[in-house]
């Protein structure tokens, strides 16, 4: 009797499927791929017989879902290492922002860079993520703060997916800061009345994000942005309670946000609202570390409320110049007390949810895209317990070795 046809069959693997609660470990696992999708992922015993064009003997290695970095700002020009030195000398992130540095500094450099220059600058950052097993990455705009440059950033985000074997979600973060050459009211009109509908129609943005903070936008302003996004059919996300509690998590939840991110100052009420709405908490320890913050996100409240937690790099030139999702996970464990299991789910299934990709990515389940990371380790703890050489053995995007 002939077996079931498959393009690829991984044998002798240990699987962490992330299906159901926990890691979904299968010790003696088999994974079959057909037409770029997972056709089977489970125990060898009782698996159907596959007739595979190609077989890979994993020799006991681990297969996890390809990693998902669900929060980055990796398309930008310029360098802000000087601000690192200023912070060491005692200035705060907010002081530097108010004095014309911070986001505004990257805006100046990004406006001056053409598409080719932005792409060339972004690729090495993306490559660093891919080298550690990332197969899906989110990329935000927000360093243009004008029509032309925001569009250029989003086009470069789309171009990244043509240059590399990776799925890219592009997020419009027009409400990142008030542009240096604009007024608050005029800029919000541009974001809400022109940019959001246009970008949705052009298919350049998959979601809309805001920065709700004392140094950025108020709750009322963010609510207006969310309302425009909803009208344009785009899901929303929020940079919320990073430096103070302005009720950003609860507002995001009220608009059914995919995620609220940072959250160091999130209240119990904010966590409860997120749980109710199914909004994912995206934990960003890189920014916490680099800004030398003291206030930690309320991990215990998220656990108690049943809020799904993701972990991401926040890769950007200012607050989180960290091009490693693994290191971010390590930091989430060491600095915030997340468990190994939590950060693994946070880099896979919960991160996929934070991007609205629950049906496509983040777990080893039949029908999902065959995005896989194969690891030369004895245990999954090894991947996050060390900062150093990547133990990634192979990466597959849509069933193709990448
Ligand atoms: O996620 N919080 C706001 N935005 C970015 C940082 C932007 C920057 O410093 O360039 C963040 O931390
Ligand atoms: Fe961010």
**Is there an atom of ligand 1 within 6 Å of 211 CB?**
yes
For 21-52, letters b (16+ CB in 10 Å) and e give: eebbebeebbbbbbeebbbbbbeeeebeebeb
3-class state of residue 392 by DSSP: strand
Strands (E), 149-235: 167-175, 207-211
Tens digits of residue pLDDT in 62-72: 999 999 999 99
pLDDT band for 36, please (50, 70, 90 cuts). Answer: very high
**What is the best residue among 103, 144, 177 to mutate for testing ligand 1's pocket, by most ligand atoms within 8 Å of CB?**
103
Q: Which residues contact 117 (CB under 8 A, 6 or more apart)?
A: 77
Tens digits of residue pLDDT in 258-311: 999 999 999 999 999 999 999 999 999 999 999 999 999 999 999 999 999 999
pLDDT band for 206, please (50, 70, 90 cuts). Answer: very high
How is residue 66 annotated by DSSP?
P
How is residue 297 annotated by DSSP?
P
The answer to whether 97 and 79 are in contact (CB under 8 A) is no
**Is there an atom of ligand 1 within 6 Å of 143 CB?**
no
- Residue 2's pLDDT is 82
3-class state of residue 303 by DSSP: helix
Q: What is the mean pLDDT of residues 203-213?
A: 98
**Is there an atom of ligand 1 within 6 Å of 80 CB?**
no
3-class state of residue 134 by DSSP: strand
Atom number of ligand 1 nearest to Cα 314: 1
**Is there an atom of ligand 1 within 6 Å of 318 CB?**
yes
Q: What is the mean pLDDT of residues 226-235?
A: 98
- pLDDT beyond 70 at 1: no
pLDDT band for 109, please (50, 70, 90 cuts). Answer: very high
How far is residue 327's CA from residue 344's CA, in Å, rounded to a whole number?
12
**Is there an atom of ligand 1 within 6 Å of 263 CB?**
no
**Is there an atom of ligand 1 within 6 Å of 136 CB?**
no
Atom number of ligand 1 nearest to Cα 287: 12
Q: What is the mean pLDDT of residues 57-84?
A: 98
Q: Which ligand is nearest to the CA of 104?
A: 1
**Is there an atom of ligand 1 within 6 Å of 179 CB?**
no
Burial of 386 (0-12, 13-18, 19+ CB in 10 A): middle
**Is there an atom of ligand 1 within 6 Å of 242 CB?**
yes
- Between the CA of 15 and the centroid of ligand 1 the distance, in Å, is 35
Q: What is the mean pLDDT of residues 7-11?
A: 98
**Is there an atom of ligand 1 within 6 Å of 314 CB?**
yes
Tokens of 118: 């932005």
**What is the best residue among 314, 317, 354 to mutate for testing ligand 1's pocket, by most ligand atoms within 8 Å of CB?**
314
**What is the best residue among 94, 237, 287 to mutate for testing ligand 1's pocket, by most ligand atoms within 8 Å of CB?**
287
Q: How far is CA 336 from the centre of its chain?
A: 18
- Between the CA of 241 and the centroid of ligand 2 the distance, in Å, is 12
Backbone angles phi, psi at 329, to 5 degrees: -65, -40
Tens digits of residue pLDDT in 301-349: 999 999 999 999 999 999 999 999 999 999 999 999 999 999 999 999 9
Average pLDDT value for the chain: 97
Tens digits of residue pLDDT in 164-185: 999 999 999 999 999 999 999 9
Q: Which residue has the tokens 């406006």?
A: 111
> By alpha-carbon position, which residue is closest to atom 5 of ligand 1?
319
């Amino acid at each position: 009797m002939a077996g079931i046809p498959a393009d690829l069959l991984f044998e002798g693997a240990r699987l962490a499927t992330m299906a159901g609660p926990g890691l979904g470990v299968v010790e003696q696992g088999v994974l079959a791929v057909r037409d770029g999708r997972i056709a089977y992922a489970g125990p060898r015993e009782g698996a159907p017989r596959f007739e595979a064009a190609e077989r890979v003997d994993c020799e006991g290695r681990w297969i996890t879902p390809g990693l998902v970095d669900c929060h980055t700002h990796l398309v930008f020009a310029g360098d802000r290492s000087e601000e690192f030195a200023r912070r060491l000398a005692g200035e705060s992130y907010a002081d530097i922002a108010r004095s014309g540095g911070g986001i505004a500094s990257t805006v100046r450099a990004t406006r001056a860079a053409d598409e080719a220059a932005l792409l060339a600058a972004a690729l090495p950052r993306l490559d660093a993520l891919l080298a550690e097993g990332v197969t899906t990455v989110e990329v935000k705009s927000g360093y243009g703060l004008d029509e032309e440059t925001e569009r250029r950033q989003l086009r470069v985000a789309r171009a990244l997916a043509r240059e590399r074997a990776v799925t890219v979600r592009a997020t419009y973060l027009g409400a990142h800061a008030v542009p240096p050459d604009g007024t608050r009211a005029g800029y919000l009109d541009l974001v809400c009345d022109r940019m959001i509908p246009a970008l949705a129609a052009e298919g350049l943005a998959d979601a809309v994000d805001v920065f709700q903070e004392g140094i950025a936008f108020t709750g009322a302003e963010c609510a207006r942005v969310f309302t425009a996004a909803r009208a344009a059919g785009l899901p929303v996300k929020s940079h919320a309670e990073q430096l103070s509690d302005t009720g950003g998590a609860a507002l995001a939840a009220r608009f059914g946000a995919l995620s609220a991110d940072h959250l160091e100052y999130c209240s119990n009420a904010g966590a409860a609202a997120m749980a109710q709405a199914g909004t994912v908490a995206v934990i960003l320890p890189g920014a916490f570390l680099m800004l030398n913050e003291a206030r930690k996100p309320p991990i215990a409240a998220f656990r108690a409320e049943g809020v799904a937690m993701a972990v991401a790099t926040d890769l950007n030139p200012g607050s989180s110049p960290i091009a490693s999702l693994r290191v971010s996970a390590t930091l989430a464990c060491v600095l915030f007390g997340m468990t190994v299991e939590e950060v693994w789910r946070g880099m896979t299934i919960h991160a996929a949810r934070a991007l609205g990709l629950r049906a496509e990515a983040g777990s080893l389940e039949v029908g999902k895209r065959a995005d896989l990371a194969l690891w030369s380790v004895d245990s999954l703890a090894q991947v996050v317990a060390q900062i150093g050489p990547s133990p990634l053995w192979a990466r597959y995007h849509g069933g193709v070795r990448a």
